[in-house]
Structure formats: structure tokens, C-alpha cells
Structure 1
Amino acid sequence: MTLHTQFYTIYMMVLSGIYIGAIFDVFRVLAGKLRLPRWTIPLIDGLYWIVATILVFRNLIASNDGQVRVFIFLGIGIGICFYFGLLSPWVIRLTLLLIRIVIAIYRFLKKTVEIVLIKPIIGLYRLTVIILGFLLTVAIFLYKIVLQLLYPVWRLFFWITKPMHKYLVIPVWCKRLWGRIVSLYRRLFSK
């Protein structure tokens, strides 16, 4: 292994340490902001270590074909110390800013969907109910007028045909039906 490869490997491991620290802070801030249940902490820790391990070994393979030496751990430690000493507050602030931006975009989109889609549908539904109610009221009104106009005609018809009633055998169900019609008419128009 040449000296250039060793320096390049240390450089990549310092970067890996910085990445590991940044990923740790991002996971920590997200877990705090999302208020995840306590039982998810081991899952998040496991996910963190999987991502960190893949990142370190990818950089290790890219820098020196995956040879593990003592100075690799030294480079990772230097990167982690550098990150937590200087960069951690900035990454936390940036993560919090990104979370606020995502929340603001979500609220904007939610409000937009509510104003553009949901409120017009509710308004259309209410307008339809009002129109149908008005049409039903008009239909009932017209129905009552037609019944009142036809009532004298019915009375006249039955008065004319009354002498024939003695000779006609009217089934019982017709008499019941006629009684229901008359009672309905009296309920509707006796007021």
C-alpha cells in the first residue's frame, strides 16, 4: 500500500466519521421531533448502525479495496471528534430548519387541497340539498293544488255514479283503499 493510498484512506475515513456524526444527529433530531414510541428506539438504532456500516465500508472499498488497518479507526475517530466539536450545532440547526420547511409545505398543501377541493365539494353538496329541498317543496305544493282542484271533480263523479253503487259489488279492498285516500285527503287539507 503506497503512502498516497494511506493518506487517501485516512481522508476518506475522516469523512466517514463526519458522515456518521451527521447521520447520528439527523436521526436523533428526527426521533425527537416525531415523538416516536419508546419501542422504536432499538429499531432506529439498528437502522443507524446499518447505514453507518454500509457508508464506512463503501468508502473503505473505494479508497483501499477494503483493507482494514488500525489507522482506519483512527481516521473515523478524528472525523467524529471534528464533527461533534465544530459541525454538530450547524447540522442540528439545518435539520430543524428542513423539518420546519417540510411542515410548512405540508400545511400549505393541506390548506390548498381544503380550499380548492374539499370546500367546493361541500358547498356543491349543500347547494344541491337546498335546490332539491326547494324542488320537493314546490312539488308538494303543486300536488296539493292539483288535489284541491280535482276534489270537486271526484265529488261530482261519485255523486253522479252514486245510484249505480247499489247495483255494483265493490270489493272490500277497494273500499279500504278509498277510505285511505279520503283520510289522506282530510289530513292534507283539513288544516
Structure 2
Amino acid sequence: MSLTVQLYTMLSMIGMGASLGAALDTYHRFLKRSERKRWLVFIYDILFWIVQALFVFYVLLLVNEAELRMYVFLALLCGFAAYQSLLKSLYMKVLNFLIHIFVQTFYFCVRVFQLFLVKPVTILIHLIIALALFLFRFLVGFGMGLWRFIIAILRLIWKFIFIPVRFVFFVIWKLLPNRVKIFIKRQAGFLKYVKKMKKHIFLIWERIKKKLGGPRK
């Protein structure tokens, strides 16, 4: 092993020691041991250290073809100690800040979703129910049957549903590649041809049945 490779190995292992310390603090920050069961924490710990060992081994494999020397462990220890003494407080502040930003962004997206989608749909449903009750009272007062009222309400609901569904299919159709559009059009034409053939076959079969059966005297 040349001196250059040894230097790269030392620097990379020092960096891996620091990253191991950061990963350990991040792991403890999200784990919350007091709220977890002991057997679950034990499994998480084993998986965490296995992943970290594989990561260190992969970096070592890239640097010096995974040759283990005593200074490799010393470099890891030095990097971990340097992180604990110099970078831990700064890293935890940055980590907590990023978590806060992520949580606030998530809550903001949820509020926007509720404001622009959930509430309008809820208001629309309430309006449809109120309109249905009003029409029911109005039409029943004029002697309209219940089944006619139900059919009228179903038509109204269908109009409310059909417009957004048609718009969604229109947008999807515009986003589809031309090859897919051509394929769908061909399939649609083939289905129309099949329907026409079925009608012709049905008509021919009806004529054959009439000729074979004939009018009985």
C-alpha cells in the first residue's frame, strides 16, 4: 500500500468517524427510546450498526480495496471524537432546524389541502343535500312521485360528477404520448367494428329463426 493510499484511507476513515457520530445522533433523535419497546429498540440497534458497518466497509473498499490496518480504527475513533467535541452542537442545531422546517411545511400543505379541496367538497355536498331536500319538498307539494324525484336527483348528481370526471380524462388524454393515443383510437375503432358485427349477426340470427319457425297455423 503506497503512502498516497494510506493518506486517503486515513482521511476517509476520519470522515467516516464523523459521519458515524452524526448518524448516531440522528438515530437517537428520531428513535425516542423511552417510547419504544425494548425488543424493538434492540432490533433497531442491531440494524443500525449493521448498516453503518456495511457503509464503512464500502468506503474502505473504494479507497484501499478493504485492507484493514490498525490505523483504520484509530482514524474512525479520531473522526468520531472530533465530531463529538467540535461539530455535535452545530449539527444538532441544524438537524432540529430542518426537522422544524419539514414539520411546518407538512402542516402547511395539510392546511392548504383542507382549505382548497376538503372544505369545497364538503360545502358542495351540503349544498347538494340542501338542494335535494328543497326540491323534494317543492316537488312533493306539486304531487310528483317519489321515483321521479329520485331520478331527478340522480340526474343532478350525475351532472355534478360528470363534469370533473370529463375534465380529468381530458387532461390525461392531453398528457398521453401520441403512440398511446393512436393505439387507443385503433382499439376504439376495433370495438365499434365488433359491435356492428354483433348487430348484423343478431339480425341474421333473428331472420333465420323466423324462417325456420315460421307462423304456425
Same fold (TM over 0.5): yes
User: What is the aligned length?
Assistant: 144
Equivalence for 2:143: 143
Structure 2 CA distance for partners of 1:33 and 1:69, relative to 1, 3 Å: closer
- Distance in structure 2 (CA, Å) of the matches to 1:112 and 1:96: 24
Write the deviation string for residues 135-177 of structure 1: whole angstroms up to 9, x where unpaired.
Answer: 1111122229xxxxxxxxxxxxxxxxxxxxxxxxxxxxxxxxx
RMSD: 2.0
Structure 2 CA distance for partners of 1:92 and 1:35, relative to 1, 3 Å: farther
- Distance in structure 1 (CA, Å) of the matches to 2:110 and 2:33: 20
Write the deviation string for residues 93-116 of structure 1: whole angstroms up to 9, x where unpaired.
Answer: 111111111111110111111111
What is the CA distance between 1:49 and its match in structure 2?
A: 0.7
Write the deviation string for residues 75-107 of structure 1: whole angstroms up to 9, x where unpaired.
Answer: 000000001111111111111111111111110
- Distance in structure 1 (CA, Å) of the matches to 2:38 and 2:109: 30
| Structure 1 residues not aligned, in runs of 5+ | 145-191
Contact 2:14-2:75 within 8 A present in 1 as well: yes
Q: Which amino acid aligns with 2:128?
A: T
Does 2:115 align with 1:115? Answer: yes
What is the CA distance between 1:69 and its match in structure 2?
A: 0.6
Larger CA Rg, structure 1 vs 2: 1
Contact 1:29-1:96 within 8 A present in 2 as well: no
TM-score (norm: length of structure 1): 0.70
Equivalence for 2:84: 84
> Superposed, which structure 2 residues align to 1:1-191 within 5 Å?
1-32=1-32, 35-143=35-143
- Distance in structure 1 (CA, Å) of the matches to 2:17 and 2:64: 17
Identity percentage of aligned residues? 27
- Distance in structure 1 (CA, Å) of the matches to 2:18 and 2:112: 40
- Distance in structure 1 (CA, Å) of the matches to 2:12 and 2:35: 34
- Distance in structure 2 (CA, Å) of the matches to 1:130 and 1:121: 14
Write the deviation string for residues 20-64 of structure 1: whole angstroms up to 9, x where unpaired.
Answer: 101001111111399555443123212321221122111211221
TM-score (norm: length of structure 2): 0.62
Say which SS state the counterpart of residue 66 (structure 2) adopts: coil
- Distance in structure 2 (CA, Å) of the matches to 1:43 and 1:97: 29
- Distance in structure 2 (CA, Å) of the matches to 1:34 and 1:122: 40
- Distance in structure 2 (CA, Å) of the matches to 1:111 and 1:19: 36
- Distance in structure 2 (CA, Å) of the matches to 1:104 and 1:34: 25
Structure 2 CA distance for partners of 1:136 and 1:98, relative to 1, 3 Å: same
Structure 2 CA distance for partners of 1:110 and 1:39, relative to 1, 3 Å: farther
Structure 2 CA distance for partners of 1:95 and 1:33, relative to 1, 3 Å: farther
Contact 1:17-1:79 within 8 A present in 2 as well: yes
- Distance in structure 2 (CA, Å) of the matches to 1:35 and 1:92: 21
Q: Which amino acid aligns with 1:101?
A: I
